Copies of this chain bind each other. A is one copy, B any other.
Amino acid sequence: MGASFVHECRYRVESFHSDCTSHLSLAVLGNQLLNTAADHAEHLGIGRQALLEKNEAWVFSRLLIQMDHYPYEFEPYAIKTWIDSVSRFFSNRHFAIFDALGKKIGNATSVWALMDLQTRQALDISQALPDHIDCVAKEHPDCPIERTTRARVTAAEPAYTFQPRFCDIDYNGHLNSIRYIEHFLGALPMEVLRERPVRRFEIGYSCECHYGEPLAVYVSSVGNDEYDLELRKADAIVASRAKVIL
């Protein structure tokens, strides 16, 4: 297919892409990881438009980001991505993030399922995209990232509640994946996040959230440098879990 096994996109910390510390915000980084993935998928012929023609879509299920250092405002950075492995129901896409000098400053991993948009069921990737296994990169940057762990939230009261509004909703009519990251960080104390960058962020998506529905963010701290988080819908249904390590 001619596309690279390892795909690279270059970015810059633009205006409003930094947080209050003037470094690249974690939510924008998450968005750029997904942009890079989308761009690679398009080059591989399995992008959103191509899959929509078959009434299929990639569904983003987990993301894990581990950063040594965040680029400063106006600094360029690059993201490399590759498909690391494929199982029957999941495609595992990895990322490496590089600073302006080409030094690796972080890694990320993500898990994607292939969904039949009519039945809303996960498809067997080996059946639906038999060539997908050939997209797995044999050579790629190092990605020494530990496995995800399970967030355990014991808090009885929510840190805060909100209802998704117009700008939170994506083309599917769901709360967009990046807003989950923003709401989880929003539940943590600003004075902590201002002093200590997030070294590791894990998020798992369980179910979709819709326009206007009441949502609540719950947070439990685990020691001094770790937070477990849940985004809950009505009836305590968990829409998403996250873990933040400072």
Q: Which residues of A contact B (CB under 8 A)?
A: 14-16, 18-22, 25, 27, 31, 34-35, 38, 42, 48-49, 73-74, 160, 162-163, 165-171, 173, 176-178, 181-183, 185-188, 190, 193, 211-212
Contacts of A170 in B (CB 8 A): 16, 18-20
When chains A and B are docked, how far (Å) is the Cα of A168 from the Cα of B167?
Answer: 13
Residue contact B27 to A15, C-beta cutoff 8 Å: no
A-B contacts, 28 listed (Cβ < 8 Å): A14-B35, A14-B38, A15-B38, A16-B31, A16-B35, A16-B170, A19-B167, A19-B170, A20-B166, A20-B169, A20-B171, A22-B171, A25-B167, A48-B73, A48-B74, A160-B163, A160-B165, A165-B182, A165-B183, A165-B186, A165-B187, A165-B190, A166-B185, A166-B188, A167-B185, A167-B186, A168-B186, A169-B190
Q: Looking at chain A's contact residues, is the secondary structure mostly helix, strand, loop, or mixed?
A: mixed
When chains A and B are docked, how far (Å) is the Cα of A16 from the Cα of B177?
Answer: 8
Option from B15, B19, B165, B211 in Cβ contact (under 8 Å) with A35: B15
With A38-B14, A166-B190, A186-B167 in contact, is A20–B177 under 8 Å at CB? no
Residue contact B176 to A16, C-beta cutoff 8 Å: yes
When chains A and B are docked, how far (Å) is the Cα of A22 from the Cα of B169?
Answer: 10
Q: How many copies does the complex hold?
A: 2
Q: What is the distance, in angstroms, from A239's C-beta to the closest C-beta of chain B?
A: 18
Contacts of A27 in B (CB 8 A): 167
Residue contact A173 to B38, C-beta cutoff 8 Å: no
Residue of B nearest to A168 (CB): B186
Contacts of A73 in B (CB 8 A): 48, 171
Residue of B nearest to A38 (CB): B15
Residue of B nearest to A20 (CB): B169
Contacts of A35 in B (CB 8 A): 14-16
Contacts of A42 in B (CB 8 A): 74
Of A35, A42, A190, most buried by chain B (CB within 10 Å of CB) is: A190
